[in-house]
Structure 1
Amino acid sequence: MYDAILCPTDGSPGSDAAVEHACSLADLADAEIHALFVVDEMTAGADRWDMIVEREEERGERALDAVGAAGAERGVRVEKHLRRGRPHEEILDAATDYGAALIVMGTHGRTGVGRFLTAGSVAERVVRHSEVPVLTARLGP
């Protein structure tokens, strides 16, 4: 059913929960995971762009390596991808580019004012616009 699973990560505990789900599903389906970290180009000011992007790319490499290690523990193939742009747009584009049949991603579980202040979440935007199924994993109970 699933040959390729896209697993966006930001290295957070919420993403770790999604990685566990993605690895379990990939193991069951004999699927490959495409781990994705997106450097959000909207977070950097022009005067500090290079330093911020470099730091985010390093953080991304660590997050992607963690997905690779989780996959290796289960014998699941993991391809790592680092992209730049707006996270929800890059996730949706990556699903198409890598032929993903499923997106598995974490959510921070924000509600109320916290959700309003962040203008909706990346996960919410992906769920609304994805052409493939999206499984969201929330940290906690």
Structure 2
Amino acid sequence: MYASVLLPTDGSEASNEAVAVGLDVAARFDAAAHAVYVVDERFVAAEYDAAVEGAERDGERALDAVGDLAAERGVAVEKHLRRGVPHREIVDAVADYGADLVVMGTHGRSGLDRLVHLGSTTERVVRAAPVQVLTVPVDSTRDRSRSE
């Protein structure tokens, strides 16, 4: 049913849960898996400033976590670090990587990041993507039990 699954990540709990679901879908349908992290350039002052370098390190860590989870599940995953506006880059990645399904968490960043972004990235992808978007909510009950 699916040949290529796109797994956007920001390293948050929401995206980690969505990645796990997306990897399960990829395994079930023997689909290619593509993990993507987008460095949001809207809030960067210069091309190579400390904020960009920090965001790229965060992105590499998030993508490595996806790679580790994929290896545990026996799924090959290609990792992609992109720059731009997250929802636009994710929608563009659908065509770039031939994805026919996007799997995303229903929320990610919180605090100031959430206030700065007008509307959620997931909501914008759902509205703009030319393919199906599977949204995965964070299970707050399960999250609490993990920390106890």
Normalized against structure 1, the TM-score is what? Answer: 0.90
| 1:12 is aligned to 2:43 | no
Instruction: Determine what percentage of the aligned residue pairs are the same residue.
Output: 57
How much does 1:118 deviate?
3.6
Instruction: Provide the C-alpha distance between the structure 2 equivalents of 1:116 and 1:43, rounded to a whole number of angstroms.
Output: 13
The CA RMSD measured in Å over matched residues stands at 2.0
Q: Offset at 1:50? A: 1.4
Provide structure 1 residue ranges, at least 5 long, that are not aligned to the other structure: none
Counterpart residue identity of residue 58, structure 1: R
Render the CA deviation track for 1:92-135: whole Å, top value 9, x for unaligned. 0001000001000112189xxxx887421100000001100000
Whether contact under 8 Å (1:36, 1:80) holds in the other structure is yes
Structure 1 runs, 4 residues or longer, greater than 3 Å off: 115-118
Give the number of equivalent residue pairs: 137
Helix, strand or coil for the counterpart of 2:70? helix
Measured after TM superposition, the shift of residue 49 of structure 1 is 5.3
TM-score by length of 2: 0.86
Deviations along 1:37-71, whole A, 9 cap, x unmatched? Answer: 0000012234x951110000000000000111111
Whether the 8 Å CA contact 1:27–1:76 is kept in 2: the answer is yes
Which secondary structure state, in structure 2, belongs to the residue aligned with residue 11 of structure 1?
Answer: coil
